[in-house]
Amino acid sequence: MSVSKVLHGRGVNVRIGAETAETIRRVAKELEYRPNVIARNLRSKQTNTIGLVFDETPLFGGTTRYFSDLMNGVTRAAFSEGYSVMLCDSLIGPKDSNRLSDGRFDGLLWVRMTAGQQILQDAFRLNLPSLLFADASLVTDPSTSFIGWDNQGAARQVAEHLYSLGHRKVGFVIAEHSIVNPEARVRAGHFRESWLRCGGSNDQVETLIWAANASDFEDWYPNRKGVTALVSWSESGAISILERARACNVQVPADLSVVGFDSSSLCDLTQPKLTAARQPVEEMAAKATEFLIRMIHSSDTDPLHFVFPSSLDIRESTARPPQR
């Protein structure tokens, strides 16, 4: 019927009599007619929905505001473009990549997906617009579109900061549960490289694999062998270290400097306030979402690459190493 033309403003090139249109509108109102979006989606083969795929299920928790910021950025950008946002956890992913390409999404934003490369390959092969939100150096395939952050730059800034303060023996802390996560190792690697470039030596950087709650701190500290600064691969790890240090009566930063990654406003709540490498997560997420929607609309297949610079938020948890 031409009802659709009147009610949804479709078919601009199709005209309808004014009184016919009026009748249609009146009847529609009387019957409380509501267009069914599923039918429209089927017909038009688009859903105005983007999917968010995460690698880990317990996303929103942890001692960090990372995912809050991320969600804020994504929803803000998506809503303003008339797109809805649907959440997928990894269950949908690895177990059944088909469900991602079953027509429900116009595009996918892959958040810190690092495992399950196969499912990524599938998505790309299926011509489902896909954008990775990931560390730039983890994206190896140049045909992949991504928005990345500069872990290398962040690690360099942390290394330069500590080195210039005079530290000559530092520990890089990786959470036990995160060793499957390449990002922790990537940051450790970049940090070590940068340290060498600062003029330090290899044996001045020790890699420590600790429980997420940093319970290892107590045993480690008395045997720290001259280490004067700890770098945690994550913000939440650094916060745990601060708590343990306080419990052990270790003064930060007088006795020990502590630095984290992924600085959020949580770092202002800790005591002392945490020095940390920062990514503008919300801004990045908004940009990523805009890019993805642009990919959906345009048909050119040039992969999109974009790297956000990092910066170092110097707060209160770092200082010159203790004199002895």
Partner DNA sequence: CTGAAAGCGCTTACAG
65 and 276 Cβ atoms separated by less than 8 Å: no
297 binds DNA (CB under 7 A): no
Query: Can you tell me whether residue 62 is helix, strand or coil?
Result: coil
Contact stretch for DNA (CB under 7 A) within 39-47, 165-173, 236-244, 289-297: 39-47
84 binds a copy of itself (CB under 8 A): yes
Phi-psi region of 11 (alpha: psi -120 to 50; beta: other; left: phi over 0): left
Tokens of 199: 């003029």
Residue 20 binds which of a copy of itself, DNA, none (CB < 5-8 A, kind-dependent): DNA
**Residue keyed to tokens 């280490």:** 227
99 binds a copy of itself (CB under 8 A): yes
Contact stretch for DNA (CB under 7 A) within 27-35, 264-272, 276-284, 313-321: 27-35
Residue 224 binds which of DNA, a copy of itself, none (CB < 5-8 A, kind-dependent): none
Nearest residue to 324 (alpha-carbon basis) of 252, 225, 246, 241: 225
Residue 226 binds which of DNA, a copy of itself, none (CB < 5-8 A, kind-dependent): none
1 binds DNA (CB under 7 A): yes
Q: Where are the alpha helices (DSSP H) in the chain?
A: 3-8, 18-30, 37-44, 66-80, 92-95, 117-125, 151-165, 182-198, 217-220, 235-247, 281-297
| Maximum C-alpha span of the chain | 93
Q: End-to-end alpha-carbon separation of the chain, Å?
A: 87
34 binds DNA (CB under 7 A): yes
Among 29, 30, 32, 36, binds DNA (CB under 7 A): 36
Among 14, 27, 95, 103, binds a copy of itself (CB under 8 A): 103
Contact stretch for a copy of itself (CB under 8 A) within 13-21, 132-140, 218-226, 265-273: 265-273
245 and 256 Cβ atoms separated by less than 8 Å: yes
Contact stretch for a copy of itself (CB under 8 A) within 40-48, 110-118, 202-210, 224-232: 40-48
104 binds DNA (CB under 7 A): no
Smallest gap from Cβ 37 to DNA, in A, equals 8
34 binds a copy of itself (CB under 8 A): yes
15 binds DNA (CB under 7 A): yes
Q: Which residues contact 206 (CB under 8 A, 6 or more apart)?
A: 169, 170, 171, 172, 227
Burial code (b: 16+ CB inside 10 Å, e: under 16) for 121-157 equals ebbbeeebbbbbbbbbbbbeeeebbbbbbbbbbbbbb
Name the residues that contact DNA, by CB under 7 A.
1-5, 8, 10-11, 14-17, 20, 33-36, 39-40, 42-45
Residues that bind a copy of itself in the complex, under the rule CB under 8 A? 34-39, 41-42, 47, 49, 57-61, 63, 65, 67-69, 71-72, 75-76, 79, 84-89, 91-92, 98-99, 101-104, 239, 265-266, 269-271
